[in-house]
Chain A
Amino acid sequence: MQPTETFYDVMRRQGITRRSFLKFCSLTATALGLGPAFTSTIANAMETKPRTPVLWLHGLECTCCSESFIRSAHPLVKDVVLSMISLDYDDTLMAAAGHQAEAALEDTIERYKGQYILAVEGNPPLNEDGMFCIVGGKPFVDQLRHAAKHAKAIISWGSCASHGCVQAARPNPTRATPVHQVITDKPIIKVPGCPPIAEVMTGVITYMLTFDRIPELDRTGRPKMFYSQRIHDKCYRRPHFDAGQFVESFDDEGARRGYCLYKVGCKGPTTYNACSTVRWNEGTSFPIQAGHGCIGCSEDGFWDKGSWYARLQDIHQFGIEANADKIGGTVAAGVGGAVALHAAVSALKRAQVKNGNGAGGHGVAKDKESV
């Protein structure tokens, strides 16, 4: 038996002080919305549990997930998480090159069978026997299957791994396929977004490494802690929506005054993500704050739903939000009525969340498809 290191051992070995370690634990507790009492729980877990190895693979992708990840808000959190991950295997960041790197991958799979987390950025293209994405002379899909076989769980980073993303847009020339359609016998945590927000990525992976369990997921497999609210629910421009004040063109008076972007195509009302609360680039802003509508990049199929500059119409997949367009129309007619309608919709929405009780099984998922 090899001696198993704890995370705390690893951090200390990497020169992280006890003080920084405790700070990390308290930051993590806050980031996950757990409250200060959990600091000691996290510290205890990290001091006593053997560390969970992470393998980070890249398929057909654009590396935007990694780029987002290394820009995480708190340098300490990023350092710690990165040092945990880079111990094992990551194409883009690791020191080893070529065959040495391939050997490191094999070694980790062999040594930690059934214990490691597999993080996947990008997805496998299945056309031409997978030859559109070749890693080390073999199709990526083979590497993915091989690494997934002994993984404890899989994290699908970003919209490529979770849903397919723009490379899977019609006609999907390479048959880019999301991970869960290729690997069907492992728990998969989807962290969609193009890219996902850095803090969401570190939050999810820290939770899994610290508590050694999968965060609570919604019906589509996304962690509820970050994907349970629509951009629209917490958008700072929401009062303008409610008041019927809209941008009609990017250069008009409404744009200068920061009105709601719904009429220039904003997909905030149907998009579940944390952009309007966590924000981007260390909390400085998010697309709507920069005057552009949300494109809905964390939603399945966002790439094939018609123009990003067209106003939302006929939203089929979310039942209740089918009314979103109607609301917009009514709003233009009369402010008072719109507010009332909106309140009604919000109440309905709350009721739905209660009844659905979150991470429902296949029944709910089927519901989604059949609407």
Chain B
Amino acid sequence: MNGESRRIIAGPFNRVEGDLEIRLDIDGGKVTRAEANSPLFRGFERILEGKDPRDAMTIVPRICGICSVSQSVAVARTLAAASGVRPPPNGELAQAVIHAAENIADHLTHFHVFFMADFARPVYEGRIWHEAAVRHFKAERGEAVKAAIQARAELLHIMGLLAGKWPHTLSVQPGGTTRAPDARDRIRLLAIVRRFRQWLEQNLFGDSLDNVAALGSLGDLDVWHRAGDAGFLRLFLTIADDLGLAEMGKGPPRFMSFGAYPRDGAHLLAPGIVEEGRRRPLDTAAITEDLSHSWMLGDTAHPSRGLTVPDEEMAAGYSWCKAPRLSGQTMEVGALARLVVEGRPLAPALLMGGRGNVRARVVARLVEIAISTLALEEWIRAMVPGEPFITPFELPDTVEAEGLTEAARGSLGHWLRIEKGRIASYQIIAPTTWNFSPRDQSGQPGPVEEALMGAPVLPGETTPVSVQHVVRSFDPCMVCTVH
């Protein structure tokens, strides 16, 4: 119907964290090629060189004001690996609580503030759900948006109690946390979580967290969806069915997780890889960063040997972002990947032909909110006031270390080399670096670039709404991507 061939630049994207531009080639009303560009570079890895390794705990989290605790946790893990220290059980619990609170807050913001607003656009006027979308999710004005920001602020009182301040928390240390909550604090923490849980059950799910976490198959989800109309998850499922969001934004059939919330040597959500439906253990030695399409100089290398030298000519390439690969392959990371790797029954069922899609990513995020809010209660109950929350640590003069964790948006890894007591090299691969990577030397597009292929574009659209849905379904954090 519309055979025009054109090239547009979608962006700057607002309602994403940081700056993002996507160049789209459009032919026959569809996207035929997409190039994701992160136009912001600060050079954190260069700044860290020569500094006291402990100072990474203050500098690195300032890469990002949204997932700053995830960065803190990754630094703490890296320094813990370098020194050989292990947090006491209380320390692991407190770290998990602080970290999960931030991840849950991020998911909540993504859904209410960043993602759903696009369904309130005039282009969808007349759809049966449009009125509800406008009332609840219109940018800035929606009732649900305001309520979610408030619920989130109250959830983050946890940060006040355990971490002193957020964003840019300081209490997360290699050996645990500097704040040792007493019995009274523990009761306050539980009260915060219970209140938040109630808010979730009334507003987001219209059902108990246990029921949402127990959804096991597409059949279950369908029955649950039709059982009522309470909760914004149901509104989203209605929209997803109507717009075919399960067929939109298909990424690579490969998922990776570094494992979330370790406790006693096990994770709440396990590390691993799922490729074409098959599970494999994670081998971080197979990670490389390819610079062929980045404005960066150097060869493809494992992050422990990687360099960050910006190409001042900006000659070859189209992004400041490097292209991380596992055994040469792109990997999708995020809440969906975590649940797929963990083998939670609903997540694999949401994939289409083994691939992530807009519906799967959004539903996985909400299911993960339910799972981790339940875990929050359990962890707080397991804390033993009076027992230590931190173990002191000493760093060797020369050492190499790796620190892995899962941020809200996916796998986050830090690679550190200390020489003569100073940082000789510090390389960071953030979740959105994986998801929004540019092409590599074999021409393989990054996950979002792949997911945008075939996205429908209406005649005359300059910021195609389908592109917005696909891009936002990954919840990009561009300030982490290039640092």
Whether the Cβ atoms of A290 and B179 lie closer than 8 Å is yes
Whether the Cβ atoms of A98 and B310 lie closer than 8 Å is no
B292 at the interface (CB under 8 A from A): no
Whether the Cβ atoms of B47 and A169 lie closer than 8 Å is yes
Q: Mark B26-47, 1 if CB is under 8 A from A, else 0.
A: 0000000000000111111011
B419 at the interface (CB under 8 A from A): no
Number of A-B contacts (CB under 8 A): 232
B58 at the interface (CB under 8 A from A): yes
B contact residues around A96 at 8 Å (CB): 14
Q: Which of B15, B154, B162, B178 has the most CB of A within 10 A?
A: B178
Whether the Cβ atoms of B178 and A173 lie closer than 8 Å is no
Interface residues of B in 310-368 (CB under 8 A from A): 310, 312, 314, 320
B384 at the interface (CB under 8 A from A): no
A contact residues around B68 at 8 Å (CB): 62, 64
Interface residues of B in 151-175 (CB under 8 A from A): 152-154, 156-157, 159-171, 173, 175
B462 at the interface (CB under 8 A from A): yes
Q: Which of B9, B40, B171, B314 has the most CB of A within 10 A?
A: B40
Whether the Cβ atoms of A167 and B47 lie closer than 8 Å is yes
B59 at the interface (CB under 8 A from A): yes
Contact-residue bracket for chain A: 35 or more
Residue of B nearest to A128 (CB): B312
**Quick one: which of B55, B168, B462 contacts A194, CB cutoff 8 A?**
B168
Q: Which of A136, A174, A280 has the most CB of B within 10 A?
A: A280
CA distance A282 to B154 in the complex (A): 8
CA distance A284 to B158 in the complex (A): 9
A3 at the interface (CB under 8 A from B): no
B479 at the interface (CB under 8 A from A): yes
**Quick one: which of B11, B18, B42, B170 contacts A132, CB cutoff 8 A?**
B42
A250 at the interface (CB under 8 A from B): yes
B contact residues around A136 at 8 Å (CB): 11-12
A150 at the interface (CB under 8 A from B): no
CA distance A62 to B163 in the complex (A): 19
Distance in Å: Cβ of A139 to nearest Cβ of chain B: 10
B146 at the interface (CB under 8 A from A): yes
Residue of A nearest to B480 (CB): A62
Whether the Cβ atoms of A281 and B159 lie closer than 8 Å is yes
A60 at the interface (CB under 8 A from B): yes
Distance in Å: Cβ of A41 to nearest Cβ of chain B: 29
Whether the Cβ atoms of B43 and A290 lie closer than 8 Å is no
Whether the Cβ atoms of B19 and A68 lie closer than 8 Å is no
Q: Mark A57-70, 1 if CB is under 8 A from B, else 0.
A: 01011111111101
A300 at the interface (CB under 8 A from B): no
Distance in Å: Cβ of B145 to nearest Cβ of chain A: 10
Whether the Cβ atoms of B170 and A63 lie closer than 8 Å is no
Residue of A nearest to B308 (CB): A173
Q: Mark A119-159, 1 if CB is under 8 A from B, else 0.
A: 00000010010011111110000000000000000000000
Of B194-202, B223-231, B388-396, the one touching chain A: B388-396
A contact residues around B14 at 8 Å (CB): 90-94, 96-97, 101
CA distance A344 to B170 in the complex (A): 33
**Quick one: which of B39, B138, B153 contacts A282, CB cutoff 8 A?**
B153
Known: A96-B14, A290-B178, A303-B59. A251 touches B390 (CB 8 A): yes
A86 at the interface (CB under 8 A from B): yes
**Quick one: which of B44, B150, B157, B479 contacts A63, CB cutoff 8 A?**
B479
A195 at the interface (CB under 8 A from B): yes
Whether the Cβ atoms of B468 and A194 lie closer than 8 Å is no
Distance in Å: Cβ of A165 to nearest Cβ of chain B: 7
Residue of A nearest to B43 (CB): A173
Residue of A nearest to B188 (CB): A284
CA distance A90 to B15 in the complex (A): 9
Whether the Cβ atoms of A166 and B47 lie closer than 8 Å is yes
Residue of A nearest to B42 (CB): A167
CA distance A307 to B58 in the complex (A): 10
Interface residues of A in 274-295 (CB under 8 A from B): 275, 279-293, 295
Whether the Cβ atoms of B463 and A97 lie closer than 8 Å is yes
A contact residues around B39 at 8 Å (CB): 133-135
Distance in Å: Cβ of B130 to nearest Cβ of chain A: 15
Whether the Cβ atoms of A91 and B12 lie closer than 8 Å is yes
Whether the Cβ atoms of A134 and B59 lie closer than 8 Å is no
B contact residues around A100 at 8 Å (CB): 463
Distance in Å: Cβ of B165 to nearest Cβ of chain A: 4
B64 at the interface (CB under 8 A from A): yes
B66 at the interface (CB under 8 A from A): yes
Distance in Å: Cβ of A175 to nearest Cβ of chain B: 10
Known: A62-B65, A132-B40. A92 touches B15 (CB 8 A): yes
Whether the Cβ atoms of A173 and B42 lie closer than 8 Å is yes
Interface of A is mostly: loop
Whether the Cβ atoms of A280 and B178 lie closer than 8 Å is no
Whether the Cβ atoms of A99 and B463 lie closer than 8 Å is yes
A42 at the interface (CB under 8 A from B): no
Whether the Cβ atoms of A166 and B167 lie closer than 8 Å is no
Whether the Cβ atoms of A287 and B463 lie closer than 8 Å is no
Known: A94-B139, A250-B178, A287-B164. A171 touches B42 (CB 8 A): no
CA distance A282 to B151 in the complex (A): 12
Whether the Cβ atoms of B165 and A60 lie closer than 8 Å is no
Distance in Å: Cβ of A237 to nearest Cβ of chain B: 13
Whether the Cβ atoms of B165 and A287 lie closer than 8 Å is yes
Q: Mark B114-146, 1 if CB is under 8 A from A, else 0.
A: 000100000000000000000000111100001
CA distance A251 to B174 in the complex (A): 12
Whether the Cβ atoms of B58 and A290 lie closer than 8 Å is no
Whether the Cβ atoms of A166 and B62 lie closer than 8 Å is yes
Q: Which of A100, A173, A281, A307 has the most CB of B within 10 A?
A: A281
CA distance A162 to B291 in the complex (A): 34
CA distance A99 to B463 in the complex (A): 8
Interface residues of A in 298-312 (CB under 8 A from B): 303, 306-309
Residue of B nearest to A261 (CB): B178
Known: A166-B47, A166-B62, A290-B170. A125 touches B42 (CB 8 A): yes
Residue of A nearest to B46 (CB): A173
Whether the Cβ atoms of A280 and B165 lie closer than 8 Å is yes
Q: Mark A173-188, 1 if CB is under 8 A from B, else 0.
A: 1101000000000000
B contact residues around A279 at 8 Å (CB): 160
CA distance A102 to B154 in the complex (A): 34
Whether the Cβ atoms of B178 and A62 lie closer than 8 Å is no
CA distance A24 to B158 in the complex (A): 27
CA distance A66 to B113 in the complex (A): 13
A contact residues around B44 at 8 Å (CB): 166-167
Whether the Cβ atoms of A62 and B64 lie closer than 8 Å is yes
Known: A94-B140, A284-B161. A176 touches B65 (CB 8 A): no
9 smallest CB-CB distances across A and B, nearest first, come from A64-B65, A284-B160, A290-B164, A173-B43, A95-B139, A291-B178, A281-B160, A134-B39, A280-B165
Q: Told that A71-B149, A94-B140, A292-B171 touch, could you supply 13 new A-B pairs with CB distance under 8 A?
A: A63-B65, A67-B66, A82-B140, A97-B13, A125-B41, A136-B12, A251-B391, A282-B153, A284-B161, A290-B165, A292-B170, A303-B59, A306-B52
Can you name 7 A-B pairs with beta carbons within 8 Å? A92-B14, A93-B15, A95-B117, A98-B10, A132-B42, A166-B44, A303-B59
